Amino acid sequence: MTDNYPSFDTRWFYALVAVGVFLNATGLFPPVMELDGALYACIAKQMTQTGDFVNLYAVGSDWLDKPHFPFWIIATSYRIFGINTFAYKFPALLFFLGSVFYTYQFTRLTYSKVTAQVATLVLLTAFHGVLSNSDVRAEPYLMPLIIGPVYHFYRVFLGSKNDLSPGYGLSKSSLHLLAGAFLTGCALMTKGVFVLIPIGGGLVLHWLLTGHWRELLKLRWCVAVALSFAFTIPEIYCLYQQFDLHPEKVIFGKTGVSGVRFFFWDSQFGRFFNTGPIKGEGDKFFFVHTLLWAFLPWSLPLYIGVGKILINLIKRRNNSTPATSPEYISLGSGVATFALFSLSGFQLPHYLNIVFPFYAILTAQFLVGLKPTSLRRWTVGQTAIGLAIAGIAIALLVLVQPNRVVVALVWVLLITLATFTLFRKNTLLSLSGRMMGAMLVLAGTLNLFLYPTFLQYQAGMATARYVNTEPKLAKRPTVLYEPGTGVGGGSFWTYEFYAKAPTVYARTDSALRVQVQTESRLVFTTGVYADSLMMRGFRVKRLAMFPYYHVSQLTYPFLNPTTRSQTLLHYVLAEVSQ
């Protein structure tokens, strides 16, 4: 495939990549966000403190939901950097950047250098990818563990003229197959068996559309699958040790729960068919509209580019002519995963992040293939989107009135001015540069100014920091009183993570009475629960009270300082005795 445009000047490309790395790195600064991020941070914290890398515990109980791999990585980071926000988020950022590297390398296998450069910049600026480097869950880990195996397996398919790799006694193809299988095994130990669909779906579609269907019959792919599952043996061992060997444990309200079965079936297929212990309400069009904002500022060229490829495929099929695109892996992996999640009974906006590398390639392929006249029009249109993003950032700053709001507004105006000063012409470089500037505005606004304001309403974190700085309280253990079953929620996890002294959960009144039967204890709980304790005969001396809001679900009344107080609940730090 030939492109209409030469590759970017190397200095410009590396400068834009550096800006992209920086805007994603701003996610390191805000505290760990509730709910899931704080839960994962606590699970890894307990793993680090106990030295137990086999069993997963949450809220003081056995935890069976996500596999171990991200927690192993986070716990290792804790041991290097200490248990803190940076140590929790930093490895996720490194994995995300790994996906950027693999995206460039994979694109270069079949496309021009400029297509790989644009794909790299698209991935660095896709909104939900940026957001996931602040609100860290499993997705930043999965991204390189999806595109990485695809790159290595595609290298196996393409082969190599210089096949023998000196010093290893293995062919380059064998090394790529081994690397692909290892990364696939890590992906399985991060999310479960459904990762095989984005990894294998695109390869299968590519072979079918390009007449290489016999590739499916080759023994090497059976070896790849076998090796991938062999690399998951540590996960299977851990699940077997914690659950299958202990059928007496009550998990999801039942006994006899198999961790291995959950890993291979209930965790993914149970959610897909909505028959497992964790259920949701699926909407077949959820990701159609979610991707419009999650892949900003590139969602429109993505949709148009995918539509163009599909139309060309239909035309070629009707004309009985062979497909001629450089590769169909990106289309197959992206569309198959989109369809899979759309049909699932359990859906969350961040699910599609794992195939953002393929969406970036499809977007870049479309933009690079535009004729100069069309490119100028798209540049103008995308610039309007970038200005709208900057306008939204300004509107949020004016509405929320965070600390240093003047500095934040100057940040937005300076970056906007610099962007249009540097990228004046309506070219592919200017298009990429303007979108980079728009997302730098948005990422900086969110991570450096807005989230620090929002996250002070994580009552658990605020209370833990208060306790840590009070000499009379700092070394005392805290009882987290959260009645109920399961992992719960609210603001208990940020207290557990940020507290330097030990914490223990009490899920019932009787459990709390055991804790306070010999002496009074520090107790952290909601204001409602604190009132209920007084009604049931406990002595409750309130030491401090902190406002709480579920900051991952922002609403206008909360954003507006004049109505914010009406949206807040309260958590209490109290001295409790019988």
Within a domain: 560: yes
pLDDT digits (tens, 9 = 90+) for 531-567: 999 888 899 999 999 999 999 889 999 999 999 999 9
| The pLDDT of residue 162 | 46
Residues 245 and 391 in one domain: no
Closest by CA position to 525, among listed 467, 479, 473: 479
Residues 476 and 381 in one domain: no
Within a domain: 34: no
Q: Is the dihedral of CA 77, 79, 81, 86 positive or negative?
A: positive
Please say which residue of 403, 422, 456 terminates a domain: 456
CA–CA separation, 259 vs 77, rounded Å? 26
| The pLDDT of residue 164 | 45
| The pLDDT of residue 272 | 62
Please say which residue of 396, 428, 456 terminates a domain: 456
What's the average model confidence in pLDDT over 391-405? 95
Q: What percent of the chain clears pLDDT 70, i.e. is strictly above it? A: 93
| The pLDDT of residue 166 | 46
For position 520, which CATH number holds? 3.40.190
Strand pairing class (539-548; 569-577) = antiparallel
| The pLDDT of residue 205 | 93
| The pLDDT of residue 73 | 98
Say if residues 30 and 134 touch (Cβ distance below 8 Å). Answer: yes
Within a domain: 20: no
Residues 298 and 152 in one domain: yes
Confidence of residue 227 (pLDDT cuts 50, 70, 90): very high
Within a domain: 139: yes
Within a domain: 532: yes
pLDDT digits (tens, 9 = 90+) for 162-195: 444 444 456 788 999 999 999 999 999 999 998 9
Residues 452 and 470 in one domain: no
Query: Using only C-alpha atoms, what is the Rg of the chain?
Result: 26
Residues 444 and 522 in one domain: no
Phi and psi torsions of 490, nearest 5°: 65, -140
Residues 519 and 435 in one domain: no
CA–CA separation, 165 vs 172, rounded Å? 6
pLDDT digits (tens, 9 = 90+) for 12-64: 999 999 999 999 999 999 999 998 999 999 999 999 999 999 999 999 899 99
pTM: 0.93
| The pLDDT of residue 251 | 87
How far is CA 309 from each of CA 316, 330, 339, rounded to the nearest angstrom? Answer: 11, 11, 17
Within a domain: 41: no
DSSP category for residue 254: B
pLDDT digits (tens, 9 = 90+) for 230-257: 999 999 999 999 999 999 998 888 899 9
**9-13: long-range pairs with CB below 8 Å, 24+:** 9/429, 12/429, 12/433, 13/117
Q: How many CB atoms lie within 10 A of CB 307?
A: 11
Say if residues 74 and 44 touch (Cβ distance below 8 Å). Answer: yes
Q: What is the DSSP annotation of 108-156?
A: HHHS-HHHHHHHHHHHHH-HHHHHHTTS-SSHHHHHHHHHHHHHHHHHH
Residues in the chain: 578
Residues 127 and 212 in one domain: yes
Residues 360 and 391 in one domain: no
Residues 195 and 319 in one domain: yes
Confidence of residue 2 (pLDDT cuts 50, 70, 90): very low
Please say which residue of 424, 456, 488 terminates a domain: 456
Residues 116 and 77 in one domain: yes
Number of DSSP helices (H) and strands (E) in the chain, helices first: 26, 9
| The pLDDT of residue 278 | 57
Q: How many domains does the chain have?
A: 3
The b-or-e profile of 458-472 (16+ CB within 10 A means b, else e) is bbbbbbbbebeeeee
Residue type at 473 in one-letter notation: L
- ∠ CA 141-142-148, nearest 5°, is 105
Confidence of residue 1 (pLDDT cuts 50, 70, 90): very low
Phi and psi torsions of 306, nearest 5°: -65, -45
Residue 274, pLDDT above cutoff 80: no
- Helical (H) or strand (E) element with 540: strand 539-548
What is the residue whose two structure tokens read 């550096």? 18
Residues 87 and 154 in one domain: yes
Within a domain: 207: yes
pLDDT digits (tens, 9 = 90+) for 482-531: 998 888 888 999 999 999 999 999 999 999 999 988 899 999 999 999 99
Within a domain: 534: yes
| The pLDDT of residue 5 | 65
| The pLDDT of residue 341 | 80
- Domain with 193 in it: 64-368
Answer with the residue of higher pLDDT: 349 or 81: 81
Residues 485 and 419 in one domain: no
